[in-house]
Structure 1
Amino acid sequence: MQFDYKEFHIDASPLDEGGRYYGRAKIYRRSTVGGEVVEVKYSGDLGDYPSDADAFEAARHWAIQWCDEHGV
């Protein structure tokens, strides 16, 4: 699932691997030069979860916390 938060765009799409779901997120920001979207942080795997909803929630929580700590 993708969503915007503050000045960031977040892709918190879980990975489905054999019935387990891995939370992960990529965080993007528009560059000041040219305005293109640039990846600024990738979470890596944040753990495995029994459902995609649980994995998404873990990734969403991680991404929002990161944005709050590193935003302008």
Structure 2
Amino acid sequence: MQFDYREFHINASPLDEGGRYYARAKIYRRASATGDSVEVKYSGDLGDYPSDADAIEAAQRWAMQWCDNNSG
């Protein structure tokens, strides 16, 4: 799932491995000069969950907290 939050763009797409879903997120910031998105943070695996919806929710929660702590 991709969405914008503050000045960031977040991709919270889980990894499906054998019926378990691993929460992970990539956070991008738009470069002001070019308008291109630049990756600023990759979460790595944030834990495994029984459904993709649970994994997406965990990744979104982590990403929004990271953005709140690192927005300028």
**What TM-score results when the alignment is normalised by the length of structure 2?**
0.97
Provide, for residues 44-71 of structure 1, a one-character-per-residue CA deviation record: whole Å limited to 9, x for no partner. 0000000000000100000000000000
Q: Which amino acid aligns with 1:63?
A: A
Q: Which consecutive aligned stretches of 4+ in structure 1 deviate over 4 angstroms post-superposition?
A: none
The Cα shift of 1:33 comes to: 2.6
Secondary structure (helix, strand or coil) at the match of 1:41 reads strand
Secondary structure (helix, strand or coil) at the match of 1:61 reads helix
- Aligned-residue identity in percent: 76
Q: Which amino acid aligns with 1:5?
A: Y
**What TM-score results when the alignment is normalised by the length of structure 1?**
0.97
The Cα shift of 1:40 comes to: 0.3
RMSD, aligned CA: 0.6
The 5 Å alignment of 1:6-45 reads: 6-45=6-45
Task: Give ranges in structure 1 of 5+ residues lacking alignment.
Answer: none
